[in-house]
Amino acid sequence: MTLDGKVALVTGGSRGIGAATALKLAEEGADVALTYQHNDDLAADIGDRIKALGRRALVIRADSADADAVKGAVEATVAEFGRLDVLVNNAGIGFVGPLEATSMDDVDRVLAVNVRGVFAATQAAAAHLGEGGRVITIGSCVAERVPGPGMTLYAVSKTAMIGLTKGLARELGPRGITVNLVQPGPTDTDLNPADGPYAADQRALTVFDRYGQPAEVASMVAHLASPASGYVTAATVSVDGGHAA
Catalytic residues: 154
By CB under 6 A, residue 153 contacts ligand NDP: no
By CB under 6 A, residue 16 contacts ligand NDP: yes
For residue 59, count other CB atoms closer than 10 A to its CB.
Answer: 21
The per-residue DSSP string of 16-33 comes to HHHHHHHHHHHHTT-EEE
What are the CA-CA distances from residue 147 to residues 3, 57, 110, 205, 241 (Å)?
36, 38, 19, 8, 14
For ligand NDP, the closer of residues 102 and 132 by Cβ is 102
Burial class (CB in 10 A: 0-12, 13-18, 19+), 99: exposed
Site size toward ligand NDP (CB under 6 A) is 31
Applying CB under 6 A, the span of 80-88, 145-153, 188-196, 226-234 interacting with ligand NDP comes to 188-196
Output phi, psi for 213, to 5 deg.
-105, 150
Residue in 30, 58, 74, 113 binding ligand NDP, rule: CB under 6 A? 113
Tell me which residues in 29-68 interact with ligand NDP (CB under 6 A). Answer: 35-39, 42, 63-65
Strand boundaries in the chain, DSSP class E: 7-10, 31-36, 57-61, 86-89, 134-138, 178-184, 236-239
CB 180 within 8 A of CB 237: yes
Kindly state the smallest distance separating residue 38's Cβ from ligand NDP, in Å: 4
Residue in 50, 184, 206, 229 binding ligand NDP, rule: CB under 6 A? 184
Alpha-carbon Rg for the chain in angstroms: 17
Residue in 44, 53, 76, 93 binding ligand NDP, rule: CB under 6 A? 93
Residue in 6, 9, 18, 74 binding ligand NDP, rule: CB under 6 A? 18
- Residues in the site for ligand NDP, rule: CB under 6 A? 12-18, 35-39, 42, 63-65, 90-93, 113, 138, 140-141, 184, 186-187, 189-192
